[in-house]
With several copies, the nearest count.
Chain A
Amino acid sequence: MTIELLYFAWVRERIGKASETVSPPADVATVADLIDWLARDSAVHAAAFVDRGRLRAAVDQTFVPLDAPLGSAREVAIFPPVTGG
């Protein structure tokens, strides 16, 4: 499975890039699994994701809770709570 990851706001700044393409193993089933997997091998990701309660996500541009299944997601975005308007 190949996923295009997008980061926004301070998540983007802490990770140091706006996007990256990853291929997680099959046991990465939810957004939360994906975050754990990214944090496992990268101190930068681990630091950006340290406070899970402040993270929000979208799968293929639909907002989802972190325990949502990835399914056959092509695009996953991880970002802080929104503050527009």
Chain B
Amino acid sequence: MIAVTVSPAVIDAGVEFAAISMTGAGGIATFVGLVRGDDGVATLALEHYPGATEAALEALAEQSVARWELIGARITHRVGDMHPGEIVVFVGTAARHRGAALEACAFLIDRLKTEAPFWKKETRGDQTSWVEPRGSDDAAAARWKA
């Protein structure tokens, strides 16, 4: 079961978790990225490339399901304006065994960071700036090369 959603709607972790756990799997791993409350960002704006984003996320989900024999993979990514404490992205994986679920979850968030066309803009006070890509993200994504 693959489910990919890109939307400006607020992400409810409970709803997301319920969806990925309905697979009857023994292990569910999730990663949730939130707008951090500790570095002065008042608003985080997420821009994306409609159509290409969903395709990129679906391709990643399909790769993860094939590579780790997942029962389910779920990616829900918010776009538009959001605020500290709100969820930017939910990644959930369901598998018979925990190792597969945990690895696939790390794979999805690492690769999503470098392959899906999203761009973040932060507003701090009256300053607005686009987030610069991080070399550590490229390194994290590269470790999953098959």
Q: Which residues of A contact B (CB under 8 A)?
A: 6, 8-10, 12, 58, 61, 63, 77, 79-85
Contact = CB atoms under 8 A, between A and B. Distances in A.
Given A9-B119, A9-B130, A61-B55, A85 B109 contact: yes
Nearest to B113: A85
Interface stretch (B16-24, B46-54, B99-107): B46-54
Interface in B43-78: 46-49, 51-52, 55, 77
A79 B88 CA distance: 21
B126 interface: no
Contacts of B47: 8-9, 12
The 9 closest A-B pairs by CB, nearest first: A84-B118, A9-B119, A81-B133, A85-B113, A61-B52, A83-B131, A85-B112, A83-B120, A10-B130
**Which one of B48, B52, B112, B130 has the greatest number of beta carbons of chain A within 10 Å?**
B52
Contacts of B48: 8, 84
Given A82-B133, A84-B77, A85-B33, A6 B118 contact: no
Interface string B25-50: 00000000100000000000011110
A56 to B, nearest CB: 9
A83 B49 CA distance: 12
Contact of A82 (B89, B98, B109, B116): B116
Contacts of B83: none
A6 B117 CA distance: 12
B22 to A, nearest CB: 21
Given A61-B52, A77-B52, A84-B48, A8 B117 contact: yes
A83 to B, nearest CB: 4
A9 B119 CA distance: 6
A77 B49 CA distance: 9
B119 A83 contact: yes
B52 A82 contact: no
A9 B79 CA distance: 13
Contacts of A85: 33, 77, 88-89, 98, 109, 112-113, 116, 118
Contacts of B116: 82, 84-85
